[in-house]
Amino acid sequence: MSDVPLIHLDGLTKTLTGQGEPRPILSGVNLTVHPGDSVAILGRSGSGKSTLLSLIGLFDRPDSGRYLLHGNDIARVPERRAARLRSQEFGFVFQRFFLLKHLTALQNVSMALVNGQGWLPRRKRRAKVMAALEQVGIAHLARHKPARLSGGEQQRVAIARALVREPKILLADEPTGALDTETGALVIDVLHAATHRGCGLVLVTHDHAHANRMQRVLRLTDGMLVPEHQGVFR
């Protein structure tokens, strides 16, 4: 039971067509993520890291290959079901924080519950939101609006917003890209802490120090994920 992976990708492929010729971006991606696993994905710009996260997060579908979520093949789920799975299973964190600037931290995190989980009594919702802010270490800033928060604090609000729905998997696409190294390290701490509560974490990053905090470090190259040679860049 518990050895069914959260995510199992087997030979995923994706070709994208922009203005020009169709370009194969992913040519056979394999990846297995269990509860509590943390995986870093490195790769040069344009190698397809964000494309891969968008397939994992069900914003898009692969051309071929198998995608098992809790053991069920969802490579070709229709959009309605994908939307439901996105809000039930995944938490997303991006380089930009996408906070609503006229709302407080508490209200920003609250939005994730209003949109995703039907109706919750106000008191229950508030307790969940405060617990999420607590988890990322900024409960004391609950009443602050984004303009009064540092970049790192804003990203932690965004992470709390991802965590408040208790996702099984966190997908983070360069979450420290807009932050200095020290602040970035704090954000990685917060993401890492979620794996101790059983969340799977897939982190796309350009930062080797951050990547090396994860259990596994992979590199997306020629459309495939390969183990990164530890130590080469250190």
Q: Which residues of this chain interact with Mg ion, rule CB under 5 A?
A: 50
Residue 95 falls in which region: left (phi positive, over 0), alpha (psi -120 to 50) or beta: alpha
Closest CB to Mg ion belongs to which residue?
50
Tokens 């994706």, residue located: 14
Q: Is residue 18 at the binding interface for ligand ATP, with CB under 6 A as the rule?
A: yes
Question: 115 forms bridges with which residues in the sheet?
Answer: none
Q: Which residue lies nearer to ligand ATP by CB, 107 or 221?
A: 221
Please check whether residue 95 is in contact with residue 158, taking contact to mean a CB–CB distance below 8 angstroms: no
Q: Report how many residues bind ligand ATP under the rule CB under 6 A.
A: 12
Which of the choices Mg ion, ligand ATP, none does residue 156 contact, using the CB cut-off of 5 to 8 A by kind? none
Q: Is residue 2 at the binding interface for ligand ATP, with CB under 6 A as the rule?
A: no
Q: How far is the CB of 27 from Mg ion (least distance, A)?
A: 17
Q: Which residue lies nearer to ligand ATP by CB, 50 or 110?
A: 50
Q: How far is the CB of 151 from ligand ATP (least distance, A)?
A: 19
Gap between the Cα atoms of 93 and 44, Å rounded: 20
Gap between the Cα atoms of 61 and 219, Å rounded: 21
Which of the choices Mg ion, ligand ATP, none does residue 43 contact, using the CB cut-off of 5 to 8 A by kind? ligand ATP
String of DSSP letters for 117-163: S----HHHHHHHHHHHHHHTT-GGGTT--GGGS-HHHHHHHHHHHHH
Q: How far is the CB of 56 from ligand ATP (least distance, A)?
A: 12
User: What residues from 32 to 71 belong to the interface with ligand ATP (CB under 6 A)?
Assistant: 43, 45-51
Q: Is residue 25 at the binding interface for ligand ATP, with CB under 6 A as the rule?
A: yes
The rounded radius of gyration (Å) of the Cα atoms in the chain is 18
Which of the choices Mg ion, ligand ATP, none does residue 154 contact, using the CB cut-off of 5 to 8 A by kind? none
Tokens 């056979």, residue located: 28
What residues line the site for ligand ATP (CB under 6 A)? 16-18, 25, 43, 45-51
